[in-house]
Structure 1
Amino acid sequence: MTPEVWLATFGSALTEGDIPAVVALFQPDCYWRDLLAFTWNIKTMEGQPAIAAMLQATLPATAPSDWAVTSVPETDGDTATVWIRFQAAAALGTGRLTLKNGLCHTLLTATEDLKGHEEPRGQTRPTGIVHKADRNRQTWAEARAVETERMGLQDQPYVLVIGGGQGGIALGARLRQLDVPALIVERNTHAGDSWRNRYRSLVLHDPVWYDHLPYLPFPDTWPVFTPKDKMGDWLEAYAKLFELNIWQSTTCDSAEYDAAKGEWRVQVTRDGTAVILHPK
């Protein structure tokens, strides 16, 4: 079975809600890695029973459709691998499919964009200019300073990210692009210190092509294995370029959810002073 035929059969079975027919398209030794597309989580289903259970729980709400192969198959003996795309009820997705002897050995499904909330990039990026005379208009730097000053005090974040390492910073950049007010709290004094403060000889164990952050890949002159302090400097520059709101020297002390108000009550200590935050 070719990838195109497999994917068409797979999509039809999903549309019909025929989970046994879907599972029959997988090898007994199979893996489905989902990044938010079906499970709204990061999960790996191993084996046909786990895949069937996941689909029982998620298929009606996900309503996947429009499956298509988007690359030329990469073949190696009895295996064929392709990139794919699809739609779900709330999202646009991408993925990667590997067939072995015509049945699926591994499947990756990942959310690429939320419908109606697509990231403003490329042709939809902000213009960065207002064509109107206004003597009192704030400059970009002035507006940014006001936002930084108010966030967490007069203005509450919708999302509070605890930890400003590379994961927290990357998440902050994604939220920024989606126009979701977010605040990152980090115990270290500078963005990137989570790398700078480690042992002197440390370099990243993964090569650079596995280490890119959203929107801004490392330049092609970057070393294959990044020294820790260089990585720290990159993270600090990245946080500034993407206008992330970060409270440094801040620890999270407690958090409890107020169901009546639909918000959290989070106590943090910032530069020795207790602050209460109310993210959603």
Structure 2
Amino acid sequence: MGIDYLATVLLSSLSSASILLIATIGLAVVFGLMGVINLAHGEFLMIGAYSALTATQMGIPFIFAIPVAVAVTMAIGAVVEFLIIRRLYGRIFDTMLATWGISIVFYQLAVLVFGTVTPGIGMPQYSIRIGDYSLAGYPLLMIVVAALAGSFIYLLMTKTVYGMKARASIQQPAMAQAIGIESSRVNTLTFSIGCGLAGFAGAVLLPIVPATPSMGFAFVIKAFLAVVVAGPVTLTGSVLTAIGLGGGASITASFLTSVAGDIFFFLVTAALLWLFPIGISANWRRKV
């Protein structure tokens, strides 16, 4: 087994882990800051993909279609939070039922509007060669995208006034209102940012995963498990779990089969939840 093959496997696995992280980060924001388990996360990802696809079909370059997708999903997320989610804070089971119902509605609307099969936009045709092996360039670009997205959200939540207000609105809502923070507006913005990140994931992954009504199913289960394993420090914890679980599953799949990779993912997830029932970050000092 040559060094070229090992380097190819490692880069490919890091790319797969980065794709999982991109799909997970919006869920981590909503669950970590708001305590809302958004079971419609996969559908917001799908809405982002369809928004980007529609924009490109209208002649908008793909790079500019991505912010269009983010804006659309943020707007829809704000409406959902205003009409439904804000009445259910602190009621985890009720929010799960509500977002599950929303996911069904969005899925059926996508089937009615777009059908079950839609054309993709095609992956950019450039590659990186490592010895005798060649890797598609666009999936490798997701490593950089994941790093930038994670860094942006981390800085947004820890180094800005909005980030402090967002954490205060959820952790100490009464005190936040007492010092003049409009918790309802901050919560709406936080939920819409989480939805916008899902839309960003759907748009940026469109060349890799064609837009279909069910495309979110491919990500939401693993994304949800990554966030649960991460524990209370959802943002930084999710980065570690997405890279560890996603990368490990991809390496396993490279040497064995894709089924073996999935088995690895779920077995390691079960083992971690058995060892750390409230997540791997339960005893961390940092809380973002």
Shorter-chain TM-score: which interval?
Answer: under 0.3
Q: Which has the higher helix share?
A: 2
Query: Taking structure 2 as the reference length, what is the TM-score of the superposition?
Result: 0.23
Query: Taking structure 1 as the reference length, what is the TM-score of the superposition?
Result: 0.24
Structure with larger RCO (C-alpha < 8 A, sep 6+): 2
Q: Which has the higher strand share?
A: 1
